[in-house]
Chains A and B, each alone.
Chain A
Amino acid sequence: MSEEKLGFYFLVKWSIIKRNFMLAIETKNLTKEFNGLKAVDNISLEVKEGEIFGLLGPNGAGKTTTIKILATLLNPTKGEAKLWGFDILKQRDEVRNSIGIVFQEPALDNRLTGKENLDFHARLYGLDKKTRKKRIEEVLNLVELQDKANVLVINYSGGMQRRLEIARGLMHYPKILFLDEVLKTCPWVKKISQHNGIIDLNVDQGEKKIPLLMKIDQKEAGFEIKSVNLRKPTLEDVFLHFTGKTIREAEVSRIEKNKRLRPAHHPPIR
């Protein structure tokens, strides 16, 4: 695993909980072409329940495209994928119910208040009135936006908007959470993960931890694959690790060099 192969696509996995696993994400030869250009090339991966999964690669490697395919926003040109056992093409609604997602770009209605955005989401996902009320309070507390609940999102700062999106992503008790470059755009996540441990993503999820699929820029992560040595990684460790500030004693359970992805719109790096 030489560092010269920086232009290659790395998939780094940490096993957080070792127990009888359910496959949270499973893809086989997933491929997406845009006008003949391969954005995602034959990617096969497995993420188990409870795992944190980082998707690493240079710009244009196809990270966001992969997330969009898994979230049923784009159809793959070839290959298949299952989320929580549901096929992304045949069981879209089940897939959509199982995932929460925070997009790379803001995706809020800024003419609504924070609470209204959450309420809109909750209704679309079919939560009943009682659950809605309880859950909105819960997730707002989680991201520390309770006193901004009735402020129009247009008046939120960029970081607050990201926090609201994290809250929204957790609103409907998803089994899998996708975070697309959230660390980069929301310093609060870093701060909170350094001081309080990780934001407690397990709010009322029972004892189950939700797997995370996140995308991190190699540069952003300040991340040297060789020096990683997590022995008993926890969510906190991984978050800390992602911030690039602290490298703890650790062990990467598996570093997988996947099939090479050719950048879609950029020339290959180096």
Chain B
Amino acid sequence: MKSNNLQTIYVMWLREMKRFLRAKSRVISTLAMPFFFLVALGFGLKPSSSLPGMAQTKYLDFLVPGIIGMTMLFTSMFAGISVLWDKEFGFLKEILVAPVRRSVVVLGRIAGGITTALIQGILILIISLFMGFKILNPFGIILALLFMILIGIGFIGFGVAMASIMKDVQGFSSIMNLITFPIFLLSGALFPVTNLPNWLRPIILINPLTYGVDGLRASLIGFSQLSLFLDLAILLIFGLAMIILGSYLFSKTEV
């Protein structure tokens, strides 16, 4: 039974890889937004300028970890919500009648989504290096990858959960606009969260991406506003909770 579970995870992953490699337009369109943010803000606000209160940190250096977090957020949500496309095209039925545990199917989807999201996140990181981004400490990259994976797990699980309770793809764009964008904008990806008014603080503090971006910043440029331990702990809890929630709601799916 164990090996069958691994096989299920593998086959879900394999399918995602094949689809990813064939869907060039999808890769370009999901990468386009973080890329434009990076270029427009990175160059527009002058790489050498700095934000009020952070004289020693260049804005580009501040921005890049945020944009990587953004890439992970969008690609992960997209991967999770792709359950909806399977629903739309009927393929979900094929998965649901198979003699496999649905929670394992969700794990397979997370494995596939993480891989594609990581590839895109790393591409953004490479692009930013050409723009003049400097990584403080090469070992920080490993820590950054860990944060990217944790962000990915959480939001893919969240996406699967949302897709499981939605009926069709109509809800997709509203999820993207009403949930994903606020999560991105209120995460401190573009500016220090301390610049926002106090009444927004609770929202920022319950936003898991805040901790992801902060952790990425700590590992890549050594600047952070929260403790690294707190970042890791919150993301771990978030990831675990979303795996459980996603698996639970997905296993309740009826088609």
Contacts and interface: CB of A to CB of B under 8 A. Distances in A.
A116 B18 CA distance: 10
Contacts of B96: 73
Interface in B233-255: 254-255
Name the residue in A75, A112, A123 with the highest tally of chain B Cβ atoms < 10 Å from its Cβ. A123
A123 B99 contact: no
A96 interface: yes
A120 B15 contact: yes
Interface stretch (B47-55, B86-94, B111-119, B167-175): B86-94
A186 to B, nearest CB: 15
Interface size classification for chain A: 20 to 34
B: contact size bracket = 20 to 34
Interface string B76-101: 00000000001001111111111110
Contacts of B22: 111, 152
Contacts of B11: 120, 123-124
Contacts of A101: 97
Nearest to A75: B254
Contacts of B92: 107
A125 B98 contact: yes
A72 B19 contact: no
A71 interface: yes
Contacts of A72: 97
Nearest to A96: B99
A80 to B, nearest CB: 18
A103 B94 CA distance: 9
B91 A71 contact: no
Contacts of A108: 89-91, 94
Nearest to A123: B11
B7 A123 contact: yes
Nearest to A106: B90
Interface in A55-93: 68, 71-75, 92-93
Contacts of B71: none
Q: Which one of B86, B94, B96 has the highest number of Cβ atoms from chain A below 10 Å of its Cβ?
A: B94
B210 interface: no
Nearest to B91: A109
Nearest to B22: A111
Contacts of B95: 124
A3 interface: no
Contact of B97 (A99, A105, A106): A99
Nearest to A101: B97
Contacts of A75: 254
Nearest to B8: A124
A177 to B, nearest CB: 12
B225 interface: no
Nearest to A124: B98
Contacts of B93: 73, 103, 107
Contact of B19 (A73, A111, A123, A126): A111
A110 B15 CA distance: 11
Contacts of B90: 103, 105-108
B178 interface: no
B97 A71 contact: yes
B252 to A, nearest CB: 10
Interface of B: 4, 7-8, 10-11, 14-15, 18-19, 22-23, 86, 89-100, 254-255
Interface of A: 68, 71-75, 92-94, 96-97, 99, 101, 103, 105-112, 116, 120-121, 123-126, 152, 168
15 contacts: A93-B99, A94-B99, A97-B99, A99-B97, A108-B90, A109-B19, A110-B89, A111-B18, A112-B15, A116-B15, A121-B98, A123-B7, A123-B10, A152-B22, A168-B94
Across chains A and B, which 4 residue pairs bring their CB atoms closest together, nearest first? A107-B90, A96-B99, A124-B98, A93-B99
